[in-house]
Amino acid sequence: MKFTYDRLSYPSGLFCTVLLLFLSLAGAASAASDAAKGAASGEPGAEKATRVVVDHTGKEVRIPAKIERIVITGPWPLPSVYCLFEGAGDKLVGIHPGSMSAAKHSLLPRVAPGILRASTEFLKGDVLNAEELLKLKPDVVFYRVETAAHAGQLALTGIPAVGFSTALSGFDTIKTFESWVKLLGEVLQQEDRASGIVEYGRKTYDEIQAALNGVKGLKRPRALILFNYGEGNIKTSGSNFYGQYWLESTGAVNVASELSGVADINMEQIYAWDPDIIYITNFSRHMPEDLYENAIPGHDWSTVRAVRERKVYKFPLGMYRWYPPASDTPLVLKWLAKKNQPELFADVDMDAEVRAYYKRFYNLDLTDEDLRRIFSPAREAADAK
* Rounded-to-integer distance, Cα 205 and Cα 379, Å: 29
Residue 205 counted as domain residue: no
Domain annotation covers residue 207: no
222 in the same domain as 149: no
Number of separate domains in the chain: 2
pLDDT at 47: 59
Per-residue pLDDT of the chain (385 residues; tens, 9 = 90+): 333 323 233 333 433 333 333 334 444 444 444 444 443 334 444 457 999 999 999 999 999 999 999 999 999 999 999 998 888 889 999 999 999 999 999 999 999 999 999 999 999 878 999 999 999 999 999 999 998 888 889 999 999 999 999 988 888 998 998 899 899 989 998 877 777 888 999 999 999 999 999 999 999 999 999 999 988 899 999 998 999 999 999 999 999 999 999 999 999 999 999 999 999 999 999 999 999 999 999 999 999 999 999 999 999 999 999 999 999 999 999 999 999 999 999 999 999 999 999 999 999 999 999 999 999 999 988 876 5
Of the candidates 160, 178, 193, which is a domain's last residue? 193
Mean pLDDT of the residues in the chain? 87
For residue 202, is it within any domain? no
Final residue before a domain boundary, out of 193, 226, 259: 193
Using DSSP bridges, classify how beta strands 253-254 and 233-237 pair: parallel, antiparallel or unpaired.
Answer: unpaired
Q: Say if residue 313 is in the same domain as residue 272.
A: yes
- Starting at the edge strand that comes first in sequence, how are the strands of the sheet with 92-95 ordered? 92-95, 70-72, 140-144, 161-164
In a domain, 222, yes or no: yes
The bridge status of strand 70-72 relative to strand 60-64 is unpaired
Question: Is residue 199 one of the residues assigned to a domain?
Answer: no
Quick count: other Cβ atoms within 10 Å of Cβ 16? 11
- φ and ψ at 133, to 5 degrees? -60, -45
Instruction: Check whether residue 122 and residue 13 sit in a common domain.
Output: yes
pLDDT at 302: 97
Reported residue count of the chain is 385
Name the β-bridge partners of 236. Answer: 226, 263
Compute the distance between CA of residue 330 and CA of residue 288 in angstroms, rounded to an integer: 23
**Does 167 lie in the same domain as 57?**
yes
Strands 140-144 and 70-72, sheet pairing: parallel
Domain of residue 91 covers 7-193
User: Using an 8 Å Cβ cutoff, are 280 and 315 in contact?
Assistant: yes
Residue 105: inside a domain: yes
Q: Are 317 and 309 in contact (CB under 8 A)?
A: no
Same domain, 337 and 378: yes
Closest CA to 1 of 151, 129, 190, 111: 129
Maximum pairwise Cα distance, the chain: 75
Report the distance separating Cα 331 and Cα 248, nearest Å. Answer: 16
Residues 235 and 340 in one domain: yes
Going by C-alpha positions, the residue among 147, 143, 169, 115 that lies closest to residue 324 is: 169
The answer as to whether 336 is a domain residue is yes
Do 179 and 287 lie in one domain? The reply is no
- In this structure, what CATH number is given to the domain that contains residue 246? 3.40.50.1980
Choosing from 158, 193, 228, the residue where a domain stops is 193
220 and 189 in a single domain? The answer is no
Q: How far apart are CA 370 and CA 357, in angstroms?
A: 13
How does pLDDT run across 155-214, given as a tens digit for each residue? 999 999 999 999 888 889 989 988 998 999 899 988 777 778 889 999 999 999 999 999
Same domain assignment for residues 246 and 188: no
Q: What is the pLDDT of residue 384?
A: 66
Of 89, 69, 215, 196, which is closest to residue 142 (Cα–Cα)?
Answer: 69
Per-residue pLDDT at 195? 76
Same domain as 97, residue 186: yes
- DSSP character at residue 116: G
Query: Rounded to 10 degrees, what is the CA torsion of 123, 140, 105, 290?
Result: 50
Q: What is the pLDDT of residue 196?
A: 83
Domain shared by 263 and 316, yes or no: yes
Percent helix, strand, coil in the chain, to 5, is 45, 15, 40
Q: Same structural domain for residues 39 and 179?
A: yes
Q: For residues 18 and 16, what is the distance between their CA atoms, to the nearest angstrom?
A: 5
Which pLDDT does position 10 carry in this prediction?
31
Could you give the angle at which helices 368-375 and 350-362 cross, rounded to 10 degrees? Answer: 100
